[in-house]
Amino acid sequence: MNRKQAFKEETRRLILQAARKLFFEEDFSKCTMRRVAAEAGVSAASVVVHFKNKTALMEAALAEDIGRTWEGALETMPAQGSLSTRIKHIWLTMFIFYDGNRNLYRELLSSTVLRVKEDTPALRKDINNFLNRLVTMIEDEKTAGRMLGDVDSMILSMSLFSQYFGMEILFFRDTSITPGMAAEMTEKMNRQTLTGLETIDNEVTQNKQRNNPWL
């Protein structure tokens, strides 16, 4: 890396460090690009060179912590239990994380959810990585004989994640919903989706299937 590139990378690092500090300490709506520049010790023009607007800056500044939390949840996920029970650990971890600063992450969600994917590269990367990891988990279930072999793993992965994302919106809209409540409801939705797809060798489940023609 030459000196010019190193200077550019250091400037970006300082901007992100300053933005992360201010976003957590101050009201996001009052935290301007100029304020971030002053905190970072760089010119306002330098901030715009790296991030075209405050939404792009916020996405870049917060995505690292979000990605690290996803990875930690995946690494500590229980090895035993049904798929819906195991991934509930992931949902609970994320809801607890977001509950640490609901106002800030509500801003992130509301500012990015309808943006084209090119405008939110860090979040897009995190979501793609998670979907691929979930696909691997589903494929493992199929290989172990715990799920029907003709299930489309990516479609199922997207379905389970979409249920989590829908619950995430409700979680941010209703402050009375606790992380535990949100994770519990997401698990119930996931379990409902997985009913009939998983081949659980359980007498109670088999009896329900025999008595209900829709399962």
Quote the pLDDT of residue 90: 97
Q: Domain ends where: 51, 69, 92?
A: 51
Quote the pLDDT of residue 203: 45
Task: Based on the fold, state whether residues 57 and 41 are members of the same structural domain.
Answer: no
Quote the pLDDT of residue 52: 87
What is the SS3 string spanning the chain? CCHHHHHHHHHHHHHHHHHHHHHHHCCHHHCCHHHHHHHHCCCHHHHHHHCCCHHHHHHHHHHHHHHHHHHHHHHCCCCCCCHHHHHHHHHHHHHHHHHCCHHHHHHHHHHHCCCCHHHCHHHHHHHHHHHHHHHHHHHHHHHCCCECCCCCHHHHHHHHHHHHHHHHHHHHHCCCCCHHHHHHHHHHHHHHHHCCCECCCCHHHHHHHHHCCCC
Quote the pLDDT of residue 119: 81
Task: Based on the fold, state whether residues 40 and 60 are members of the same structural domain.
Answer: no
Does some domain include residue 88? Answer: yes
Task: Based on the fold, state whether residues 123 and 93 are members of the same structural domain.
Answer: yes
Cα separation of 70 and 189, whole Å? Answer: 20
Task: Based on the fold, state whether residues 152 and 83 are members of the same structural domain.
Answer: yes
Task: Based on the fold, state whether residues 8 and 60 are members of the same structural domain.
Answer: no
Task: Based on the fold, state whether residues 123 and 40 are members of the same structural domain.
Answer: no
Quote the pLDDT of residue 30: 81
The pTM is what? 0.83
Quote the pLDDT of residue 204: 47
Domain span at 15: 1-51
Task: Based on the fold, state whether residues 34 and 69 are members of the same structural domain.
Answer: no
b/e sequence 40-65, b meaning 16+ C-beta within 10 Å: bebeeebbeeebeebbbbbbbbbbee
Task: Based on the fold, state whether residues 22 and 63 are members of the same structural domain.
Answer: no
Give pLDDT < 50 ranges for the chain. Answer: 202-205, 209, 213-215
Task: Based on the fold, state whether residues 101 and 136 are members of the same structural domain.
Answer: yes
Task: Based on the fold, state whether residues 127 and 68 are members of the same structural domain.
Answer: yes
Quote the pLDDT of residue 1: 67
Task: Based on the fold, state whether residues 70 and 134 are members of the same structural domain.
Answer: yes
Angle at 67 between CA 69 and CA 58, to 5 degrees: 115
Domains: count for the chain: 2
Q: What is the pLDDT of residues 120-148, one digit of tens each?
A: 888 888 899 999 999 999 999 999 999 99
Quote the pLDDT of residue 121: 86
Task: Based on the fold, state whether residues 31 and 74 are members of the same structural domain.
Answer: no
